[in-house]
Amino acid sequence: MAVSWGTLFADRTERMHASDIRELLKLTARPEIISLAGGLPAPELFPIDEYRRAFEWVLETNGNMALQYGPSEGYRPLREFLARRMTGMGIPAEPDHVLVTSGSQQGLDLLGKIFLNPGDAVCAESPTYMGAIQAFDAYQADYVTVPMDDEGMRSQDLDDILQQHAIKFIYALPNFQNPSGRLMSEPRRELLIETARRHGVPIVEDDPYGELYFEGGPLPSLRSLWPEGVIYLGTFSKILAPGFRLGWLVAPPGLYDEFVFAKQPADLHTSMATQMATNEVCQQDDFLETHIDQIRDVYRERRNVMLRAMEEHFPPGCSWTRARGGLFVWAELPPSIDTRELLAEALAEQVAFVPGESFHPDRGGHNTMRLNFSNVTPERIEEGIARLGRAIKRRLAHVEATAERDQSVPVSP
Ligand SMILES: Cc1ncc(COP(=O)(O)O)c(C=O)c1O
């Protein structure tokens, strides 16, 4: 008898499915399409030579350890390096409370595994990171969202939310948020912490982009403002390379072991060879700081080109964020435009973006879009934005013509 797979799936799989947008965006792999849709770093900046040397050295000098099973907590020298570096940046961290993860995406999954029963509520910014929604969806989470503006999460709205809802944790991206590129202002950070602390609700600070600032310097991390209540997620994906799947988290002492227990059944530990080679790369004099400086320079230029091109090619009625760091610009179009419909039009112009709806757990944001500048050369950004501007203008003309036609239809008595 044939197995009827679908009838055997656990309830939690109900919300695990391909998104139609992701399917559509598969088209963007075609070279003639200028994709502003991805969230990928610039591959030409990957430290390939440094890794080649580091892997060689690790295999020559400590191959037995590199290829053996290792501790779930992570490779101790790397945990020590991370704790030292974070402490130097004002993010409190002890090596004993650093857990190396297989990408910070694993940190999100572990959070769901530890905290979320079906129907439990997570408080998230609106919009928020799509991969976090996917991770928490797998644990059948509910969402309560906090609106954002140019200063990031509107922390002033949080008190009411925390009074009205039982929230397991607040998921926040204070630095150059994915998708909006926004930076949470210092007063908003302080108010967020003050409110969460008063209600006894923990915060998850997801911070892949904090070091990629293009102007000014870093603002105080949420963890520095409340070390006992903030779980910090970090990653090498945007400062070295995402392909190794190497991230980390810092958990308050009473929680750390729980993360280790949650990680063990998932993958026992993160690749030892990768951790050792990365530790080697990070030990090279000033390499990491110089490398991150170079990433900032390249991305800053691309961001500038994108903003300039948007000024030139986007029609009146559109607004967008300035992305003072990170990988993304977030645009809001006139309300008559549905960016999912616009995407089809844009693909015909051979340019792609991600419609904003994908970043809203409540499916809002129909007239918003995320644009990536890190993975596209300045020339292609310029051309891509010109194409997108044409698609938006055509779509606007279409919806205006449709509205006029509808108005001119005689109303029957
Ligand atoms: C906000 C945010 N969190 C987590 C991740 C996952 O990163 P990784 O698993 O590569 O560390 C990403 C990736 O783009 C992200 O934007």
**Is the beta carbon of 242 within 6 A of some atom in ligand 1?**
yes
- Tokens for 304, please give them: 């500038």
For residue 58, pLDDT over 80 is answered with yes
Residue 108 to residue 247: CA distance in whole angstroms: 11
The per-residue pLDDT for 408 is 67
Q: Which pLDDT does position 411 carry in this prediction?
A: 57
Tell me what the mean pLDDT of segment 358-383 comes to. 94
**Atom nearest to 245 CA in ligand 1:** 10
Q: Which domains does the chain have, with CATH numbers?
A: 17-46+289-402 (3.90.1150.10), 48-283 (3.40.640.10)
The type of residue at 285 is D
What distance lies between CA 265 and its chain's CA centroid? 25
Mean pLDDT score, 299-318 = 98
Angstrom distance (rounded) from CA 105 to CA 267: 13
Could you read off the pLDDT of 75-101 as tens digits, one per residue?
Answer: 999 999 999 999 999 999 999 999 999
Q: Which residues, at least 6 apart from 204, have a Cβ–Cβ distance to it below 8 Å?
A: 111, 169, 170, 171, 172, 230, 231, 233
DSSP 325: B
User: 40 CA to middle of ligand 1, Å?
Assistant: 10
- Whole-number pLDDT of residue 402: 84
**Residue 409 clears pLDDT 80, i.e. is over it:** no
Best residue for ligand 1 mutational test, from 177, 231, 237 (most atoms within 8 Å of Cβ): 237
Residue 404 scores a pLDDT above 80: no
Q: Which amino acid is at 187?
A: P
Worst-scoring range by mean pLDDT, 133-137, 369-373, 396-400?
396-400
Measured between alpha carbons, how far is 155 from 147 in angstroms, rounded to an integer?
9
Cβ of 39 closer than 6 Å to ligand 1, yes or no, is: yes
Q: Considering only CA atoms, which of 297, 320, 296, 298 is closest in space to residue 308?
A: 320
β-bridge pairing 230-235 and 247-250: antiparallel
pLDDT at 332 over 60: yes
Ligand 1: centre distance to CA 189 (Å): 21
**Residue-level pLDDT at 26:** 78
pLDDT by residue (tens digit) across 261-289?
999 999 999 999 999 999 999 999 899 99
pLDDT tens per residue, range 335-348: 999 999 999 999 99
Q: Does the structure show a pLDDT above 90 at 24?
A: no
Question: Under a CB-based contact definition with an 8 Å cutoff, are residues 341 and 199 in contact?
Answer: no
Write out pLDDT tens, residues 141-168.
999 999 999 999 999 999 999 999 999 9
The Cα 362–Cα 366 span in angstroms is 11
Expressed in angstroms and rounded, the spacing between residue 104 Cα and the centre of ligand 1 is: 6
Q: Is the pLDDT of residue 352 over 80?
A: yes
Share of the chain above pLDDT 90, in %: 89
Q: Indicate if the pLDDT at residue 28 is higher than 80.
A: no
pLDDT band at 239 (very low <50, low <70, confident <90, very high): very high
Which tokens belong to 379? 């020339």
174-190 pLDDT tens trace: 999 999 999 999 999 99
- Say whether pLDDT at 412 is over 60: no
Between 406 and 279, the more confident residue is 279
Q: How many CA atoms lie within 13 A of 173 on its CB side?
A: 24
Question: Is the pLDDT confidence value at 173 over 90?
Answer: yes
pLDDT of residue 274: 98
Q: Where residue 118 falls among pLDDT bands split at 50, 70, 90?
A: very high
Identify the pLDDT of residue 363. 81
CB 81 within 8 A of CB 211: no
Task: Decide: 180 in ligand 1 pocket, CB within 6 A.
Answer: no
Q: Report the Cα–Cα distance between both ends of the chain, in Å, rounded.
A: 62
CA–centroid distance, residue 14 to ligand 1 (Å): 23
Percent of the chain with pLDDT strictly greater than 70:
98
Q: Which of 116, 375, 217, 335 is nearest to 124 (CA)?
A: 116
410 has a pLDDT exceeding 70: no
Pairing of strands 34-35, 351-352: parallel
Decide: helix, strand or coil at residue 404.
helix
Q: Whose CA is nearest to atom 14 of ligand 1?
A: 39
The pLDDT mean for the chain works out to 95
Q: Which pLDDT band, with edges at 50, 70 and 90, does 405 fall under?
A: confident
Specify the range with the lowest mean pLDDT, choosing from 20-29, 177-186, 228-237.
20-29
Classify burial at 338, counting beta carbons within 10 Å of its beta carbon; exposed 0-12, middle 13-18, buried 19 or more.
Answer: middle
**Residue 5 or 412, more confident:** 5
Residue nearest to atom 16 of ligand 1 (CA): 178
